Amino acid sequence: MQSNDLDIQNLLVIMANLPEFLRASVSRQKLKELVEMKDDEKITVTLRAIKCMQNIPPEHSKKLLLSWLTAITKLDSADFINTTYFYLNIVLTYHIPTQAYIEIMSNFFYALKDEEKSRIIDNLREVLCLFPFRERLLTIFPREIRRIISD
């Protein structure tokens, strides 16, 4: 059965209202499912989720984004690189606005431990090497992170 966007929005609000440990667990499980999907299915699911995220209260989307970012950083390097490449490619291909999330991503990054930051920077540099239009891709990132990963 195909769910409609309102069902997805309601599910996202429910997830946002879960205690952090449950939200983190659900995020990890959903990310694992996403990693295992075929690319065409990933694109459909991701675009619907992004569209629905834009229609829920900002405080809920912030909680979900933070849980999702945390889950992504826990992936092994290969899955992190593939997942990040996939997301960034979707953002560029479908012209997804990212300005609303720049501050959240920056704060998340700077709250990480140094070894986590280092791992993410290394992986992001690998992701950048996969894109033929690196300069366009860099515009998605906050200025401070852009400076760090392009050094």
The mean per-residue pLDDT over the stretch 5-10 comes to: 88
pLDDT above 70: percentage of residues in the chain: 99
Average pLDDT, the chain: 88
Map 68-113 to HEC letters.
Answer: HHHHHHCCCHHHHHHHHHHHHHHHHHCCCCCHHHHHHHHHHHHHCC
DSSP annotation string for 56-72: S-HHHHHHHHHHHHHHH
- pTM (whole model) above 0.75: yes
Query: Comparing 97 with 123, which gets the higher pLDDT?
Result: 123
The mean per-residue pLDDT over the stretch 80-90 comes to: 91
